[in-house]
Amino acid sequence: MNDTPSVAEQFGGDAARRLEAMYLTPDIVAQRAAVLDRLRLQLGERVLDIGSGPGLLAASMAEQVGARGEIRGVDVSDTMVGLATARCSAFGWAGFQVADATSLPFADDSFDVVACTQVLEYVPDVEGAIAELRRVLRPGGRALIMDTDWQSCLWASSDDARMRRMLEVWDTHCAQPRLPRLLCGLLGRGGLEVRRVSTLPLINLAWSADTYSHGIAHAIAAFVGKSGLVPALMAEQWLEDFWVLAGTRNRYFFSLDRFMFET
């Protein structure tokens, strides 16, 4: 039986802290820098971070908008909200609360900028979430939405059939594993004009604890191993294969594409 955990469960408790560690790797630090560059935040702007996680992006945004601005973050995980609140405690103009992307606790036209990174792919009702994002964004405001197309994942393996099966099961961890290819149309129908789409590749050539692929590989192995959709031994052998590829064969390779949509 497939006991797929809810999004709140996937990003709560100890899982939230493991994810926080992954977000501190150089790969994701560079990703946040790219997002901040695209956002072009100005002093005094009001910004909403939908799916604010442990508050790493929000902390950087708080520095950029300054005390005359405002940062608000929402997340479905109360653990993430706690981490973000602690991380941004020095910024009195930043605040976080538990809320769903399809029911934002803010008035119409509240924000100059909305960021929504690695969130909509987990939302079953994407149209509802886009409608809420549009509602709270002021006329003429800016939004940046970033999501992953998990079919873009290229990962060296000594057993291609096993790799395909592992990634097929991993697809079930989120509601929309192919979302980027649909987002232009969904955003347009939701009243948001897409001005720019760009690709942000994550590439790792080494199996190392300070890389994104190392962290996500362990998350995938844990998720797939508990899914009941494949033998638990398969997930263990899949993970062990990366040590072999990186060590004796020097064949480790990982690539994944994320897509940024700017309105």
Q: Which residues 6+ apart lie within 8 Å of 79 measured at CB?
A: 11, 12, 13, 16, 17
Distance CA 121, CA 125 (A): 10
Gap between the Cα atoms of 62 and 47, Å rounded = 9
* pLDDT band, residue 1 (cuts 50/70/90): very low
Mean pLDDT for 28-35 is 96
3 state SS of 53 = coil
Which residue from 71, 17, 19 is spatially nearest to 44, judged by alpha carbons? 71
Q: Predicted confidence band at 212 (pLDDT cuts at 50, 70, 90)? A: very high
H-run or E-run covering 111: strand 111-117
C-alpha distance across the termini of the chain, in Å: 41
Taking each continuous run of H as one helix and of E as one strand, the counts in the chain are 10, 8
Lookup: tokens for 17: 């802290």
pLDDT 10s digits, 162-208: 999 999 999 999 999 999 999 999 999 999 999 999 999 999 999 99
The rounded mean pLDDT for the chain is: 93
Pick the CATH number of 7-262 from 3.40.718.10, 3.30.70.20, 3.40.50.150, 2.60.40.1180: 3.40.50.150
Q: Where are the domains of the chain?
A: 7-262
Q: Does pLDDT of 263 surpass 90?
A: yes
Residue 2: which pLDDT band, with cuts at 50, 70 and 90?
very low
Residue 163: the pLDDT is 97
Query: What distance lies between CA 179 and its chain's CA centroid?
Result: 13
pLDDT at 4: 53
Q: What CA dihedral angle connects 7, 10, 14 and 18, to 10 degrees?
A: -110
What are the pLDDT digits (tens) for 102-153?
999 999 999 999 999 999 999 999 999 999 999 999 999 999 999 999 999 9
Give the DSSP H/E element, type plus range, for residue 116: strand 111-117
